Each structure stands twice: as C-alpha cells, then as structure tokens.
C-alpha cells in the first residue's frame, strides 16, 4: 500500500512551540502588546514575517521596515538561545519511534514545516537523517494554510496527495493539509484543532496500523 507521511516540526516532532511563544511574547512587549497563549494559537504554523505582521496588527502598531526587520531578527536570536539548550530529550514522546516504525515498513517520510530553522533543529537533536525529504521555510513561498509545503513534500516523496497523512499541531497546518486533500491528524487539543480528521494528545496514543487504514482513498 502506498502511504506518505508528512510531519510538521514545531509542536509535533520537537517541543519548540513554547519557545516560539516566549520569543514572540517578548517581541510583542516592545510594541506594548501582551501576547496571550490563546492568540498564540493563531501564530502556530505561520511564517516569521506573517507572525510579526499579525502581532503588529493586533497591537495596532506600525513600524518602519528597518524596525520590522530588527524585531524579526531579535525574535529569532531569542528563539535560538532556547534552541541551543535543546537535546534529544526535547523530541516529543513517541514520535521518533513512530517514524522509525513507518520507515521500517517502507513508507517514505517528509518534513513539512514553515520554519527556516528546521534543518538546524533536526541536526541539533540528531534526527535529520530520518527524513527522506525536508520541505521548510527556505524552500516554499506560500505559507500555511496554503497547501504548498505539503504538496511539494508529496511530490518529492512521489506519493499522491490522497495517500498522504499530515501530522500537525496548528490550526493553519490542519487547514493546509485539508486544502491539499490529505488526511489531517492533529496533535493537541480537539477544542482547538476542530478541522482535523482525528486529534491525539501525543504520538504514544497513535498506532501506525490505525493510520494505515485511514487514508482518504480507503474511505472513498
Ligand atoms: C513554524 C512555527 C511558527 C514559526 C514558523 C517560522 O511554523 O510553528 O511558530 O513562526 O515555523 O519559523 P522560523 O524558525 O523560520 O522563524
Ligand atoms: Mg507546528
């Protein structure tokens, strides 16, 4: 059976979503805005530039192009200080063994992330070589919920969109997977990821055999 597995990075493979939040919270304070965890959900899966634009919009602030670039650079520098301290312990529970099991069964595996830091983070925690292809913020132009990142990944894996399964922790990412015609699996809360086909708390709760029986083609 043909099956392609596509994984988001932040909040799915590594516990970095909290670091993005902390770094954006600090950036928002600079324009007098308090970023809440609830609003932060709208930033998950969203590119660096789009995220800053959203924050400035919420804050009702306008900044010069120079200031914009400076704020984005500072946010990333802040974020990377957290990333520097990460180890393989920061890989989320169950995801590495899930990927290894899928690979042992011959299923191709891709990363589909909006992050420009994705390759560096994967190398940092020692799982870069697990992926057959890596599609990240350096290789795509259209941000989630546009399906581009996932359709490019599916093409690289040589698997039809309808045979692809996407694992995502963000609203934008679930929407992107659905827009791509792929099966969307949410990691997180059912109350937030309302558009996902299925939602799990973490990978330890997901059986590969369940995923194998759920691709969209087997349901039609
Ligand atoms: C992921 C994260 C977002 C982040 C984006 C860009 O989608 O969920 O929080 O803003 O990547 O990441 P980057 O590392 O390029 O700033
Ligand atoms: Mg994510």
**Cα–Cα distance measured from residue 50 to residue 10, given in angstroms and rounded to the nearest whole number:** 16
**Is 129 one of the catalytic residues?**
no
Q: Is 9 annotated as a binding residue?
A: yes
Strand 109-112: give its sheet, edge to edge.
133-135, 109-112, 4-7, 164-168, 183-187, 198-200
* Residues with Cβ–ion distance below 5 A, ligand 2: 8, 10-11, 169-170
pLDDT in tens, 118-156: 999 999 999 999 999 999 999 998 989 999 999 999 999
Residue 191 is a catalytic residue: no
- What's the pLDDT band for 220 if we cut at 50, 70, 90? very low
Write the CA distances from 91 to 28, 50, 53, 71, 122, integer angstroms.
Answer: 28, 26, 29, 28, 10
88 alpha carbon, distance to own chain's centre = 18
pLDDT above 80: residue 49: yes
Give the predicted TM-score (pTM) of the model: 0.94
CA 76 / ligand 1 centre spacing (Å): 9
Nearest CA to ligand 1 atom 14: 115
Cα separation, 80 vs 50, in Å, equals: 19
Residue nearest to atom 7 of ligand 1 (CA): 45
Query: What pLDDT, on a 0 to 100 scale, did the predictor assign at position 1?
Result: 67
Give the tens place of pLDDT for each residue, 147-201: 999 999 999 999 999 999 999 999 999 999 999 999 999 999 999 999 999 999 9
Place 215 in a pLDDT band, splitting at 50, 70 and 90.
confident
Whether residue 219 has pLDDT greater than 80: no
Does 47 contact ligand 1 (Cβ within 6 A)? yes
Phi-psi label, residue 106: left if phi above 0, alpha if psi -120 to 50, beta otherwise: left
- DSSP characters over 70-131: HHHHHHHHHHHHHHHT--GGGBPTTHHHHHHHHHHTT--EEEE-S-TTHHHHHHHTT-GGG-
Q: Measuring from atom 2 of ligand 1, which residue has the nearest CA?
A: 45
Give ipTM to 2 decimals: 0.98
List pLDDT tens digits, range 9-47. Answer: 999 999 999 999 999 999 999 999 999 999 999 999 999
């Amino acid at each position: 059976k043909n099956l392609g597995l596509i994984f988001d990075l932040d909040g799915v493979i590594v516990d970095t979503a909290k670091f993005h939040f902390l770094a954006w919270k600090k950036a928002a304070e600079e324009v007098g805005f308090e970023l809440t965890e609830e609003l932060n959900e709208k930033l998950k899966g969203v590119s660096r530039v789009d995220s800053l634009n959203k924050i400035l919009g919420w804050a009702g602030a306008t900044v010069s192009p120079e200031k914009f670039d400076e704020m984005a650079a500072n946010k990333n520098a802040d974020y990377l200080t957290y990333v520097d301290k990460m180890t393989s312990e920061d890989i989320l529970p169950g995801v590495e063994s899930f990927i290894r099991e899928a690979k042992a069964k011959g299923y191709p595996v891709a990363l589909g992330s909006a992050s420009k830091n994705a390759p560096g983070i994967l190398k940092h925690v020692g799982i870069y070589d697990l992926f057959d292809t890596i599609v990240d913020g350096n290789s795509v132009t259209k941000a989630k919920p546009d399906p581009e990142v996932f359709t490019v990944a599916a093409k690289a894996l040589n698997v039809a969109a309808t045979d692809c399964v996407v694992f995502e922790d963000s609203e934008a990412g679930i929407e992107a997977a659905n827009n791509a015609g792929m099966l969307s699996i949410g990691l997180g809360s059912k109350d937030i990821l309302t558009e996902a086909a299925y939602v799990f708390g973490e990978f330890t709760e997901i059986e590969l055999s369940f995923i194998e029986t759920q691709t969209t083609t087997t349901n039609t």
